[in-house]
Amino acid sequence: MTIKSNIFKLVKKNDFKQIYKLIDNNKSFNVNIFNNNNISLLEICINANQIKEYVNDGGNLIAYRNSIKWVSNNIYEIELISNSLVAKDIDFDEREAFLDAQETGGAIFKSNIDKSHPINYGIESTSLPLFRNSNVYMTKDQQSYNNPILYTSDPLISGYVSEENLSLVKKSSPFKLVKRGKGKILLMTDNTNFRAFWFGTNRILLNMLFHSNIM
């Protein structure tokens, strides 16, 4: 199986001409990867109808972190969960610190994996540490076999996460696969290739590239 992948990393608005050119030629690619892109830039730069057509015709779309929100808004609705944050006993001059405390800048969480699922091929252990630096949370699927990666009941291994967001981590699934037409959309909330040294989970990206046909 030959894989031709294309990674979209939007840096500034001036990128949109090049992105349109790539999208127009996207049938040359088996896989398009949306990195952790700025949602407003995606709205400006990407033609959702072209992506829908691409997936329906058999292309695979991989979306990471904040790009999942764009997919949910424009391609296929993803059930996301969030907290209704209420400030109690927080003064006006404390509001920024209160809101900043909800940011997940980088923390490591423990997950349990289904080794029989192609997304986890090549991973020897039944547990897997995941690096997370986003606040995107997807609901678990009702069918257990569609949840090949799930956080444990006590997932925080290292780093900071607010109590509110920790409760969301426990309820959520970091990976989801959606079938649309002849193609597939693969979603991952966590950073599997963080700064090219987080080697334990880079297999997940490789499996999304090479084994999506049997998922």
| Tens of each residue's pLDDT in the chain, 215 residues | 444 455 554 444 445 555 555 555 555 678 888 887 666 667 766 778 888 988 999 989 999 998 999 999 999 999 999 988 888 899 999 999 999 999 999 999 999 999 999 999 999 999 999 999 999 999 999 999 999 999 999 999 999 999 999 999 999 999 999 999 999 999 999 989 887 777 889 899 999 999 999 99
Q: What is the CATH number of domain 5-82+96-214?
A: 3.40.50
3-state secondary structure of 111: strand
Residue ranges of E strands in 25-143: 31-34, 60-64, 107-113, 127-132, 138-139
CB atoms within 10 A of CB 94: 11
Cα–Cα distance for residue pair 112/127, rounded to 1 Å: 4
CB atoms within 10 A of CB 3: 12
pLDDT of residue 37: 65
